């Protein structure tokens, strides 16, 4: 007798959701990334409590075609790639076609959306991945996704969530990263009916940093700029006197995608050398641009890791640039003293 069973779709989706939808912050990340991929210039994120009860993301992007609405919630359905070769030149943040299927599998979700092609918008409601209702509604072009009762049908997952303040920190962190990586998108973040921040979307990275972290923070940063044939690096590092007790304010973006990189952190910290007090960490907000074929983004499901094909070269360029910059900064106070 056979003991091996093929799992049904709903069970598969719940298992997959466990991988990419770990917590409310992951929902925020996936939804906002979809809005960015949809070409939105304005994105509003609204959270109530710590996101378990209510998350809303509204964008003014291209919207979802009426005919695609149910398909978008199936697993491995994406409008962003159609074959494996497409991964070589991927520009979008998403491509796995798993987020909507996963989020809807473990929540009660409503989508309201309209494209330029559709005269009227559509609203669809799913509970635990099952379509509950669908109807036409009047709405502007773009998409609103409202996720409520996250993990209502996976109590074990719900139990593993950390405290409200920790989950909120994770949500804030992801929203900061998304806003920092997209200075030309206007973000509005509302939490418990209060506007936490709003960015202007005018493309100015200094404006975004000011909106997020304030004037003092911005004025303690040194601008970094480097360009050669295949590599562009810009952003900010902090003056050696402006440090943090951990790496929470180190942000790396590769082709506008946020990445985690111990290697890049350590490279820059080692360029500070003895300028850095022990157990202190510089602020880093660094935007790297490399040709898509120079990186591999497909190594982790949450895609926060990137492998550079010429890692050594990139690191030594970063090290040298930071070293030079800090040397220059060093000279200025000395000149002031002799004057
Ligand atoms: P992926 O982003 O990997 O393609 P998702 O499950 O996140 O997969 O989304 C599935 C599809 O639904 C996307 O490829 C896209 O076509 C559509 N979609 C999702 N969110 C939006 C949005 N905010 N605006 C327009 N289209 C969207
Ligand atoms: Mg997506």
Element spanning 321, H or E = helix 311-338
Element spanning 47, H or E = strand 42-48
Nearest CA to ligand 1 atom 7: 99
Which of 26, 134, 120 is closest to 71 using CA atoms?
A: 134
At 143, is the pLDDT very low, low, confident or very high (cuts 50, 70, 90)?
very high
Q: Which ligand sits nearest to residue 100's alpha carbon?
A: 1
Contact 105 CB / ligand 1 (< 6 Å): no
As a whole number, mean pLDDT of residues 282-310 equals: 80
- Per-residue confidence (pLDDT) for residue 282, from 0 to 100: 97
Domain containing 191: what range?
9-198
* Domain edge (last residue) among 150, 168, 198: 198
Both structure tokens of 244: 């943090």
182, 76: one domain: yes
* Cα of 223 from ligand 1 centre, angstroms: 35
Does some domain include residue 191? yes
167, 101: one domain: yes
Residue 338 has pLDDT above 50, yes or no: no
Share above pLDDT 70 across residues of the chain, in percent, rounded to a whole number: 93
- Per-residue confidence (pLDDT) for residue 154, from 0 to 100: 87
- Per-residue confidence (pLDDT) for residue 85, from 0 to 100: 75
At 108, is the pLDDT very low, low, confident or very high (cuts 50, 70, 90)?
very high
As a whole number, mean pLDDT of residues 106-110 equals: 95
133, 234: one domain: no
Does some domain include residue 91? yes
At 335, is the pLDDT very low, low, confident or very high (cuts 50, 70, 90)?
very low
Q: Which ligand sits nearest to residue 143's alpha carbon?
A: 1
17, 152: one domain: yes
Provide the CATH number for the domain around residue 126: 3.30.565.10
* Cα of 155 from ligand 1 centre, angstroms: 27
Does some domain include residue 283? yes
250, 128: one domain: no
CB 200 within 8 A of CB 207: yes
Does some domain include residue 187? yes
Cβ count near 128 (within 10 Å): 18
145, 268: one domain: no
Rounded mean pLDDT of the chain? 88
- Per-residue confidence (pLDDT) for residue 216, from 0 to 100: 94
Does some domain include residue 332? yes
Contact residues for 253 (Cβ-Cβ < 8 A; gap 6+) = 180, 181, 235, 259, 286, 287, 288
- Per-residue confidence (pLDDT) for residue 272, from 0 to 100: 95
Contact 64 CB / ligand 1 (< 6 Å): yes
Residue 63 has pLDDT above 70, yes or no: yes
Rg (alpha carbons) of the chain, rounded to whole number:
22
227, 157: one domain: no
Does some domain include residue 4? no
Residue 203 has pLDDT above 70, yes or no: yes
Residue 250 has pLDDT above 60, yes or no: yes
At 230, is the pLDDT very low, low, confident or very high (cuts 50, 70, 90)?
confident
Residue 28 has pLDDT above 90, yes or no: yes
* Cα of 57 from ligand 2 centre, angstroms: 13
Share above pLDDT 90 across residues of the chain, in percent, rounded to a whole number: 65
* Cα of 92 from ligand 1 centre, angstroms: 10
184, 88: one domain: yes
181, 295: one domain: no
Provide the CATH number for the domain around residue 330: 3.30.230.10
Does some domain include residue 207? no
Residue 337 has pLDDT above 70, yes or no: no
Does this complex have an ipTM over 0.90?
A: yes
Residue 91 has pLDDT above 80, yes or no: no
Task: Count the domains in the chain.
Answer: 2
247, 163: one domain: no
As a whole number of angstroms, the distance between CA 231 and CA 216 comes to 30
243, 286: one domain: yes
At 3, is the pLDDT very low, low, confident or very high (cuts 50, 70, 90)?
confident
Does some domain include residue 204? no
> Ramachandran region of residue 185, left (φ > 0), alpha (ψ -120 to 50) or beta?
beta
Q: What is the pLDDT of residues 173-190, one digit of tens each?
A: 999 999 999 999 999 999
Cβ count near 118 (within 10 Å): 16
190, 226: one domain: no
């Amino acid at each position: 007798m056979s003991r091996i069973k093929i799992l049904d779709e709903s069970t598969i989706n719940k298992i997959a959701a466990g991988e990419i939808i770990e917590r409310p912050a992951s929902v925020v990340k996936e939804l906002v990334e979809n809005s960015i991929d949809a070409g939105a210039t304005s994105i509003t994120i609204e959270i109530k409590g710590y996101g378990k009860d209510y998350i809303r993301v509204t964008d003014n992007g291209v919207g979802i075609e009426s005919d695609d609405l149910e398909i978008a919630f199936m697993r491995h359905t994406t409008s962003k790639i159609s074959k494996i070769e497409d991964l070589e030149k991927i520009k979008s943040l998403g491509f796995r076609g798993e987020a909507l299927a996963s989020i809807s599998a473990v929540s009660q979700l409503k989508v309201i959306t309209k494209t330029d092609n559709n005269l009227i918008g559509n609203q669809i409601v799913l509970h635990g991945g099952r379509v509950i209702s669908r109807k036409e509604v009047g709405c502007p072009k773009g998409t609103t996704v409202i996720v409520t009762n996250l993990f209502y049908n996976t109590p074990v997952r719900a139990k593993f969530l950390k405290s409200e303040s920790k989950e909120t920190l994770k949500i804030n962190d992801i929203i900061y990263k998304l806003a920092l990586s997209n200075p030309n998108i206007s973000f509005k973040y509302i939490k418990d009916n209060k506007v936490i921040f709003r960015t202007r979307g005018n493309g100015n990275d200094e404006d975004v940093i000011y909106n997020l972290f304030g004037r003092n923070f911005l004025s303690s940063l040194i601008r970094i700029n480097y360009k050669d044939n295949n590599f562009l690096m810009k952003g900010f590092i902090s003056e050696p006197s402006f440090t943090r007790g951990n790496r929470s304010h180190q942000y790396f973006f590769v082709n506008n995608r946020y990445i985690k990189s111990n290697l890049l952190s350590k490279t820059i910290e080692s360029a500070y050398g003895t300028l850095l007090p022990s157990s202190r960490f510089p602020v880093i907000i660094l935007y790297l641009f490399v040709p898509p074929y120079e990186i591999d983004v497909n190594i982790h499901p949450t895609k926060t890791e990137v492998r550079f094909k010429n890692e050594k070269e990139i690191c030594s360029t970063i090290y040298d640039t930071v070293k030079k910059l800090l040397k220059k900064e060093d000279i200025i106070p000395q000149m002031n003293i002799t004057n």
